Amino acid sequence: MARRERRDGRGESRDDYDSQPDRNGAPHEPERETLTALKAILVKVASVVKPLGLTPEESTDLVQRMYGMVLELDAAMAGETDESRKASMVAHVKSSVIRREDDVLVVDHPAKAD
């Protein structure tokens, strides 16, 4: 795939390869793992909206918190293969337990078996 460079209005260079989706609209590889994890987060949060009576603000906050956790996990796994990172992030999200404790949302992650 060709790399393109564009200059913005201030004359600064911008690398389109890293910041734009490919011709099919799909994001480039580094983004795919976190987008897959984000989809898993959205499914997880959607599954607890009614049972926990989440408000829209609580749901948004929960997605942001969980995505932050995923990004930390992704950074910790730097050097691993893309598939390994993706699988770990999705497993982390799926294994999380979301509960309300004294009107506070808590996200628990079962300890990994070594």
Does residue 8 carry a pLDDT above 50? no
Between residues 18 and 101, the one the model is more confident about? 101
* CA quadruple 43, 49, 52, 56: dihedral sign: positive
Above 90 in pLDDT, residue 110? no
- E strands present in 8-68: 13-15
Q: Mean pLDDT, to the nearest integer, of 36-55?
A: 94
Contact status, residue 33 vs residue 86, Cβ threshold 8 Å: yes
Beta bridge partners of 59: none
| pLDDT score of 48 | 95
**pTM for this prediction:** 0.68
pLDDT at 3: 42
Beta carbons of 42 and 34 less than 8 angstroms apart: no
Cβ–Cβ under 8 Å, residues 66 and 12 = no
The domain spans of the chain are 28-108
DSSP code of residue 31 = H
